[in-house]
A and B are shown apart, each in its own frame.
Chain A
Amino acid sequence: MKTQNLIETKNLTKQYGGVRCVDSLHMQVPQGAIYGFLGPNGAGKSTTLKMILGLARPTDGSITLFGTSVNTRNRIRLLSMTGSLIESPSYYGHLTGEENLHILQTLKGCPEADIDKVLKIVRLEEARRKKVNHYSLGMKQRLGLASALLGFPKLLILDEPTNGLDPSGIQEMRELICSLPSEYGITVVVSSHLLGEIDQMADHVGIIRKGQMVFQDTLEALHAHARQQIALRTGRPTDTLSLLRRNGLEAAKEDDYLLMPMIDDERTAALCRQICEQNIPLYRIEKREKSLEDIFLSLTGKETSL
């Protein structure tokens, strides 16, 4: 059975002045996934999420939520099945945590009992009657997550939810996010500029660079990318390159090495034999494991910050 995509964007574009912040983006978030939306600062993650939530108008393209194309008439109805935390937590500082949740609970039309449930989930029960202005940043972030969880939506969109949290807060938030699909059946989209963070949470990944989706697949596929390279160093690299091409292997030169995709042991042995038969000196043959960081940098450009 084909899994339904809860979010699907086609050619999604956002242009401010002459600058395309999001450029023809195709995004697919399968149901039940934790979708890590990864990209360097300023890549267009927040703008994309804002367009999905109707907070910014796309210049071009379409957005489909829960299988229905979003327009101004059905936007609020579709978003009622969605919770969100964009950039920083939203709150009324002069009201208590509980009063903040009461406002959103009334607007969402969900049961009042949800307030207790979400406060328990984010572990804010003891601070429920404290004014939010007196909360720490971590508590505000947790309150933001509690607000997003009200009504237990089918889809949760979290934009850099660990921003400003201390290491234990990050760990806590990560565990919480990881538990959402299995415990509450919630599909989560979580954006971050930190690869390690997404690696620990997500099962699907979308990598955005300068507004364009440069990779989108499962985390496994991204990891698989990381393992598939053999590095060769020979005395005649140009002849070796021709030999590899004759064998149907695309290789790239990197320093003194030729990098080619991973092949099985028998094929590797046959290739080594051919190299020796042509009297090409074979100095080294190595298995290269590209780290996720390497892949991320190669996809997003080395000049960008992580």
Chain B
Amino acid sequence: MRTLQLEFYKIRRRKVGLTMAAFLAAQFLWGLWAFHDPTPSEQAQGFLSLLYSIPILDAVMVPPVMAMLASRLADIEHKGCMYKQLETLRKPGSLYHAKAVCGLLIIAVTFAAQYALFILLGYAIGYQGSPDITYYLLSYGLKLASNSALFLMQLALSMLFANQMIPLVTGLCGSLLGLLLMFVKMYSFLPWGGNLNSALVMMDWDARTRQATYYYREYSPVELAAVGMIFVWFVLFYAAGRVLFTRREN
């Protein structure tokens, strides 16, 4: 617990909060631009459509944000050669765990704020009804798991490589891959496809009437396996990162 508290103390003046706020602001501004003038049909399906739009937006935007967050947390140790000091005071595994939990808490708060912002936006632009809390919570849980897995992968890279270009480039490539995967299928077994797997709502686009109809997704067995894969990645990245970090020498 003390080690975790110190992780938050260490990231003072690192503008981690600002980074996450900038990410939310960018998404919110996009939301304002995209949804500001809804048709009656869009108003009726508004809260449902958010469960489709947000994961798609996340698939593109979140990988580099996770890379940035992991890098902000880890590079402070590389810059001042702190590991060789810290590892005489704490076990490397415990240091790794504290950093992972610190990042995961930041992610949890950020995504909670993201949903709160979009729900407020929905009310502000006149969406009808109210958000289905069960589905929103489920979507939040899946989003948290898939992006946490991405974060843990990025954290492992950021903690193992002093040169932060390696994890940052991985994050950028992940963003492009997330975009590409959307054009293939709405599910993927790759870690960057987690956001697509966690979209609980699908859309039918009628090109003739130019109208979208949203409906709750019915997961096929393959899609369910892809959702399960999110949790496999989560455990795998945490364990691999921790083991590699513990085994390396200063």
Contacts and interface: CB of A to CB of B under 8 A. Distances in A.
A84 B13 contact: no
Contact of B85 (A76, A104, A106): A104
B9 A54 contact: no
Nearest to B7: A103
B13 A95 contact: yes
A87 interface: yes
A132 interface: yes
Given A76-B90, A84-B88, A132-B80, A56 B6 contact: no
A94 B76 contact: yes
Contacts, number: 76
Contacts of A55: 84, 87-88, 249-250
* Pairs of residues from A and B, 3 with the lowest C-beta to C-beta distance, nearest first: A90-B85, A55-B250, A91-B80
- Per DSSP, chain B at the interface is loop
The interface size bin for chain B is 20 to 34
A87 B85 CA distance: 11
Interface string A47-59: 0001001111100
B6 A107 contact: yes
B3 interface: yes
A92 B76 contact: yes
A56 B249 contact: yes
B9 A103 contact: yes
Contact of B81 (A57, A80, A87, A102): A87
Nearest to B91: A76
A107 B81 contact: no
A88 interface: yes
Contacts of B3: 107
Interface string B75-106: 01001111011111111000000000000000
A9 interface: no
Nearest to B9: A103
A82 interface: yes
Given A103-B9, A107-B89, A90 B82 contact: yes
Interface residues of A, number: 30
Given A50-B84, A91-B80, 13 more contacts: A53-B84, A56-B249, A56-B250, A76-B91, A79-B88, A87-B84, A90-B82, A93-B79, A95-B13, A102-B9, A103-B6, A107-B3, A107-B86
A88 B82 CA distance: 10
A54 B76 CA distance: 22
Contacts of B36: none
Interface of A: 50, 53-57, 76, 79-80, 82, 84, 86-95, 99, 102-104, 106-108, 132, 147
18 contacts: A53-B88, A54-B88, A56-B250, A76-B90, A89-B80, A90-B80, A90-B81, A90-B82, A91-B80, A92-B10, A92-B80, A94-B12, A94-B76, A99-B9, A102-B9, A104-B89, A106-B5, A108-B89
A87 B91 CA distance: 21
B204 to A, nearest CB: 50
A84 B85 contact: yes
Given A55-B84, A84-B85, A90-B82, A106 B13 contact: no
